[in-house]
Amino acid sequence: MKQGFKTKFLHMCSTATKAANDDAAGSVVYPVSSIRSIGMGSMAVTGAISASETVYHIALDPMSISQGASGAAAVLGDNVDVINVTMTTANNAKAHMQELIQKINSSRVTESGWINLYDGINATQLIADIASVANLHNDNS
């Protein structure tokens, strides 16, 4: 590993209480290297995008790769995990994307490598305009 190089991770939690933080809506962390794309609209794990002025998506490599009904291993590229981000301000995704990418590319030594996109439990978010997030897990089955 190169001197000073840190792997950065993107965190999100859509639940509002610690008691509810034990399922697919709970805390999840992805390495930023798993981001495939960021774009406007709400995305399903199949890659289908529905138009929206207040939602953008972050498509990621899936966390789980399971076997299909035939017993054959699913292919990593089949589908994606998705974080759908709801904004308070319509059509503001470009500003969100710029801020997220700047955070990912930042080399400030004071940063820990932890990017908190949204935390419903502690009511914190990377960008004040984020109203909520939804994390869709693909089991590739």
Query: Is 132 among the domain residues?
Result: yes
Query: Is 118 among the domain residues?
Result: yes
Query: Is 105 among the domain residues?
Result: yes
Q: Which of 18-27, 77-86, 103-112, 120-129 has the highest mean pLDDT?
A: 120-129
Q: Is 118 exposed, middle or buried (0-12, 13-18, 19+ CB in 10 A)?
A: buried
Query: Is 110 among the domain residues?
Result: yes
Q: Is the pLDDT of residue 1 over 50?
A: no
The separation between CA 83 and the C-alpha centre of its own chain, rounded to angstroms, equals: 4
The whole model's pTM is what? Answer: 0.84
Tokens of 119: 């935390």
Query: Is 52 among the domain residues?
Result: yes
Please, which pLDDT band fits residue 69 given cuts at 50, 70 and 90? low
Domain residue limits at 53: 10-15+29-65+74-136
User: What domain count does the chain have?
Assistant: 1
Report how far residue 114's alpha carbon sits from residue 122's, in angstroms, rounded to the nearest whole number.
Answer: 15
Report how far residue 116's alpha carbon sits from residue 136's, in angstroms, rounded to the nearest whole number.
Answer: 17
